[in-house]
Amino acid sequence: QVIKCKAAVLWEANKPFSIEEVEVAPPKEHEVRIKIMATGICRSDDHVITGALVMPFPIILGHEAAGVVESIGQGVTSVKPGDKVIPLFVPQCGECKSCLNTKGNLCSKTDLGTNAGLMPDGTTRFTCKGKAIYHFIGTSTFTEYTVVHESAVAKIDSAAPLEKVCLIGCGFSTGYGAALQTAKVEPGSTCAVFGLGGVGLSVVIGCKVAGASRIIAVDINKDKFAKAKELGATDCINPKDFNKPIHEVLMEMTDGGVDYSFEVIGRTDTMTAALACCHHNYGVSVIVGVPPAAQKITFDPMLLFTGRSWKGSVFGGWKSKDAVPKLVADYMKKMFVLDPLITHTLPWTKINEGFDLLRTGK
């Protein structure tokens, strides 16, 4: 049965979303159709609007959500109609090299990096005004109903509040995992976090849970400092307050550099600064923000020669299908908070206002 529902369609770059009636095809073999109950807004969605992340148009964006299974295609065994679920923009097929390796989490079935905007079989499930609409990284959550592959959905605790745990679909897990999984922050260590959006604050939470003794939060928007401190930051610094490079300031504050640094903005200049501010011999710097398209980094290789490690982290290094239900269970056990990460709750027809709030740092 085709479902007619409302979705926020982006017809072209640098334009607002338009709320349209779309047709959502039934799930094919190994696919799941989900009724989306809550979705978060992420900077990666905005990167598509601005062209920093290249995707085909027209497209239904959104990748951080929670919902309820409406129907399943043939052969689906991991979920059934009525289950509460979180769609996964990094799937877990369980068969590719990354899935089979204990260190890996970036499943080869992901649409990240291929920018195809289609289901694994090369077709779309969305039509609007007779036109095919592209999917976004296998999830497309800015719609009342979406279709995902079975490898891209995780069943979660039926008691979980969907309007909170939707953050585990991207922002929270990405930041929290960057600290716990990718960097493996140790008790007593010193950390620096560049960028205090939802993901940066989740890195702060992860560093605190890991037992870091000092967490230095860095942002040019001082309005974000109070929340960073509430979540565990010990120091907050604004690069605009200094007339020297921020990595030098951090080196001085920490007597030679931090143990772990995190770039959670997606800018090449801050990526290099985050690398330079960690200890020259055993410091680890993690790139968490999506890098801008068509930009390169030039840096002095001596920064790495002395022993530093430079790492990347997609979805916090978690194996998605395994980790998401556990992270939801941890939230239910109050091992971490999500409420402070939610600044506004809007009816989804006000999605353009939501993006304005994102762009103004609110």
Taken in order of first residue, the domains within the chain and their CATH numbers are 3-171+317-360 (3.90.180.10), 183-312 (3.40.50.720)
Taking residue 337's Cβ as centre, other Cβ atoms within 10 Å add up to 13
**How far is 30 from 75, CA to CA, in rounded Å?**
5
Active site residues: 42, 44, 47, 63, 170
Q: DSSP secondary-structure letter at 144?
A: S
110-124, 142-156, 200-214, 269-283: lowest mean pLDDT where? 110-124
* CB 49, CB 355: distance < 8 Å: yes
Structure confidence at residue 115 as a pLDDT band (50, 70, 90): low
Q: DSSP secondary-structure letter at 240?
A: G
Mean of per-residue pLDDT scores for the chain: 96
The residue ranking higher by pLDDT, 245 or 348, is 245
Structure confidence at residue 53 as a pLDDT band (50, 70, 90): confident
Q: What is the mean pLDDT of residues 77-101?
A: 97
Taking residue 269's Cβ as centre, other Cβ atoms within 10 Å add up to 13
**How far is 107 from 93, CA to CA, in rounded Å?**
7
What are the residues whose beta carbons fall under 8 Å from the beta carbon of 207, sequence distance 6 or more? 179, 185, 191, 193, 215, 232, 260
Q: What is the mean pLDDT of residues 336-357?
A: 95
Q: pLDDT tens for residues 191-224?
A: 999 999 999 999 999 999 999 999 999 999 999 9
What are the residues whose beta carbons fall under 8 Å from the beta carbon of 347, sequence distance 6 or more? none
